[in-house]
Amino acid sequence: MPFRVQVLWLFGPGSSVASMAELAPDVPAVPRYTSEEYFALSAEGLLAPDDRVELLEGVIVSMPPSSPAHAATVSRVLRVLSHLTGDALMVRCQMPLVAGTHNVPEPDVALVAAQPDDCATAHPTTALLVVEVSESSLPADRLTKAPIYAAAGVREYWIVNLRDRCVEVHRQPAAGEARYAQRTAVRPGEHIEPIVLPGARIAVDDLLPAP
């Protein structure tokens, strides 16, 4: 019987992270956290500020340390999008996006139709564009995060695929079905024309690190 392996953070008294476990077919289902419960764990000190975790489908999952290539690529994406948007839109880097009742991912880059003061009391619930830089996280970014972002109405989702040196562009979110109707792989030497930035053309070579 198919099942999905999920990493769970189990909390114990006096520690922020006590242990990890994996779901197996013979293990009872674990209650899912809501976004409110997730933020409450942080407020209560059960999640420390330096715990690299996010809430996906109600499960608190760890994020791997950023490799040099990952970090450099995130910086490239930030530079390109910040240059194109100026002050018209807000570019957020690795900050929470409350994408539904049981999801608080922290995308590498998110383009939001808001200003900093608009997010002073609550995190955004959707974005115009989300970008994940993928290396070891590629399966999760494709299979877990794409449906989450589609369901949240994110109009465009890019996976900067460092393994295959391309950008996977997802468009046309079918929110009710939690999927994107269109997926295209754009490669070095080609350009992306973001639907959320009319008239802009972004070279894939400007997003990927040198080979």
> Do 121 and 153 fall within a single domain?
yes
Residue 59 · residue 6 · CB < 8 Å: yes
> Do 79 and 58 fall within a single domain?
no
Residue 163 · residue 174 · CB < 8 Å: no
pLDDT value of residue 75: 97
State the Cα–Cα distance between residues 50 and 127, nearest whole angstrom.
Answer: 25
- 2 in any annotated domain: no
Residue 179 · residue 150 · CB < 8 Å: yes
> Do 84 and 170 fall within a single domain?
yes
Domain hosting residue 185, numbered range: 68-207
Q: What band does 7 get if pLDDT is binned at 50, 70 and 90?
A: very low
pLDDT value of residue 172: 95
Residue 104 · residue 97 · CB < 8 Å: yes
Give the pTM.
0.84
